Each structure stands twice: as C-alpha cells, then as structure tokens.
Amino acid sequence: MAQTAPTASSEHLDKIVKGLRACVPANSLEAALQRSHLTLQPHARRVPLAAIRQLVTELAEEQQDPWLLVRAFSYLNYSETFLATTYLGNARTLRDAINLSQRYFQQNSDLASLALEQSGVQARIVVTPTPEAEATEQQLLATLYALLRICQGLGLQQAGAAMAGFSDAACEACRRLLRVPVEILADAKHLELRFPALELARALNTAQPNIARLARRERQLIRSHSGHNWSESVQLLLTALLPRGETRLSRCASLLAVAPRTLQRRLTAEQRPFSALLDSVRQQLCLEYLHSGHADATLALLLGYRQTSQFYRQFRLWFGCSPSQLRPHLTPETTKTRGRSHALPHPASRAASAPGSGSQRHG
C-alpha cells in the first residue's frame, strides 16, 4: 500500500501565512501562494507539506533570508492571555501543556514528532523530523522557536537548546534567533528544548478551561485514528469538567459527538468503565488541590461532589484517613516565577464559571 504524502492542517497553513504577512510584501506573498497552489484552501482540508515547503523556500530565497519562517513566527501571539484561549487553557501545569501539545502536534503537521523526556534534574522536549516530510532546517528551527515561545508564554524562564545533524549555519542561527545556549550533539538529526525538570510542576493561571476547544481537538483525533483510545479522551475531559461540577458520562459523550451508549461500550471494550475513570481523575485532582491548601468544602466542590460528606467518605476510601490527617505529610508544590509564587488557580474562579460561559477565541 502506498504511503500517504505528509500533510498539515489548514489552521497550520493559516498560522504560517499570518506570520509571513508581517514580514513579506503582500504582492510577493500572494504570488508565492499561487505558485504553490495554496490559495483558497478549504478550512477542513489537509494541505500537502511539499507545497508549504515550496512556499517558504521560495520566499526565503526571494527575501534573502534563509531563516524567514523563524522571523515570521516571531510575529505570532504567544502571550499567556492568548494561550489560555487555546486548548492549552486546559493545562494545570507546564507538564500538562507539553503533554497536550505532544498529543495534538501531528494534527497540525506531519513535519515532526514531539516527545517529553526527563533525566534527573533536566527535562527536554525532543523534536524528531519525519523522514517522509523532507523538512528543511528552516522549518525545523521555526518549530523549535515556536515551542520555546509557547513555553515562555506559560512562564518558563530558564531554557537551552540542543541540535544534532544540522549545518553550522543552522546552529549559529539557533543561537542568534532563539537567544538561548545551544549544545551541538553527535547524533541522529533532531532538536531539543531543555529546561530544569522542576519547571514541569509549574502551575498555570488557567481560571476558565477551554473545554470546547479541547473537545474539538479530541474529535479530530477520533476521526483521524481508527484505534483511538477513548478512555484517554474521557480522562482529559473529566479533568476540565469536574471543577465545574459536571460528572456525567452523557456530558462527555456530547462533547465527543457520540451517543452515551456508544461511549460506554467503547470504554467497556478498553476495560476502563466510566465510574473507574471518574474515580481515578478525582483522586489525582484531590492530591493536587490538597497541595495547594484548599479547604475541605472547596475540595468537595472542585471534585464535583454536591455534599462535603460524600467527599469525606470517598477520601477515606482513597487514603484511609481524613484530609486534615494527610495534609501534614504533603509538601506544597509552588514555584517562583516573575517575582511571585504560582499555585493552582483559585477554585472560586472555576466554580463560578457556568458551562459554556464566555466567548471562545480562535488561535
């Protein structure tokens, strides 16, 4: 069977064109889009990566800037406020944000894959190019640049990079454009974004999770993967839904655009019934909220319990003691950034937001 040619989403192309409009004359950009057959793309259509590579390469040569795409990406919005309007608004920690980015990266582009690795006190995001995509150094460097800017927008301050299999010119450009220390590796071609592992626990200021955006991403995954893991989707949705007091399978089914019976059947086939997933997510979130010092009544609310007594009974089943007995054995996990201590978002801001409230902004 012939392999499908590597593609990217129309949203990914839109992002590239938006950045290019800020640094390329309009007539040059439009002419290049036409030559690459990238004009008037239907929004839901996948775009050949070969056409995007042609567009960027031609414009870089015309503008005499071999790293034009990196400069184009520098004009995009990486602010914390904007990132909160994307699916990253559902991340509670930097680790969550990286995991979500890794989960959805290939929805955007077949250019490369992402992997989060941790070794001792250092963490790294590894960008490995897809051989079939024939990515240029310019495209891969722009990918690393975007990852760095996203992490910085989420509060990361200490970062470095590593490169293997790139030209001397690309290594020099990486130092100059990313403005971080760069280590040259003798290895198969890849890029790394490095930072202290303790940064993974950095709590993010995501007061209003963007559940609609998260659900849309999950539906895209379902459509693109025949062997989709439904329990992972439900766990992600429950993590965002619980602080809003929503604990029903029917709500998850609606967000995933399937019938409740269909979702229940899928979960049963994976041997992860909804009740077990709900209990697992509640227990995980409970420990996180305990670390942040919330009162018992607030914990019950954030975990979707209508009565505090229900929460107390379940807590004893989980841990064999009361919250007050467990608290002295926990160490608060807060990190310093920009001169202030970051903890989990205050529960009042989450509890006060009704499902579906607020306008959603596309990024």
Binned at pLDDT 50, 70 and 90, residue 207 comes out as low
User: End-to-end alpha-carbon separation of the chain, Å?
Assistant: 36
Q: Is the pLDDT of residue 72 over 90?
A: yes
Q: Among residues of the chain, what percentage have pLDDT more than 70?
A: 88
> Looking at residue 243, what is its pLDDT?
84
Binned at pLDDT 50, 70 and 90, residue 86 comes out as confident
> Looking at residue 208, what is its pLDDT?
67
> Looking at residue 340, what is its pLDDT?
31
Contact 274, 234 (CB under 8 A): yes
Among the ranges given (13-27, 121-135, 211-225), the one the predictor scored with the smallest mean pLDDT: 211-225
> Looking at residue 361, what is its pLDDT?
36
> What is the average pLDDT across 186-210?
87
Read off the pLDDT of residues 258-315 as tens digits, 9 standing for 90 and up: 999 999 999 999 999 999 999 999 998 898 888 777 889 999 988 988 889 999 999 9
Read off the pLDDT of residues 221-273 as tens digits, 9 standing for 90 and up: 898 777 889 999 999 999 889 888 899 999 999 999 999 999 999 999 999 99
> Looking at residue 132, what is its pLDDT?
93
45 contact partners, CB below 8 Å, separation of at least 6: 10
Binned at pLDDT 50, 70 and 90, residue 151 comes out as very high
Query: What 3 state SS string does 49-93 have?
Result: HHHHHHHHHHHHHHCCCCCHHHHHHCCCCCCHHHHCCCHHHHCCE
Binned at pLDDT 50, 70 and 90, residue 7 comes out as very high
Contact 9, 109 (CB under 8 A): yes
Burial 98-137 (b: 16+ CB within 10 A, else e): bbbbebbbbbebbbbebeeeeeeeebbbbbebeeebebbb
Binned at pLDDT 50, 70 and 90, residue 335 comes out as very low
CB atoms within 10 A of CB 295: 12
Domain positions in the chain are 7-73, 80-201, 211-351
Q: Which residue has the higher pLDDT, 350 or 177?
A: 177
Contact 345, 244 (CB under 8 A): no
Binned at pLDDT 50, 70 and 90, residue 85 comes out as confident
Average pLDDT, the chain: 86
Report d(CA 348, CA 353) in Å as an integer: 9
CATH for 211-351 is: 1.10.10.60
Q: What's the pTM value of the predicted model, to 2 decimals? A: 0.81
Contact 253, 267 (CB under 8 A): no
> Looking at residue 358, what is its pLDDT?
36
Read off the pLDDT of residues 30-60 as tens digits, 9 standing for 90 and up: 999 999 888 765 565 789 999 999 999 999 9
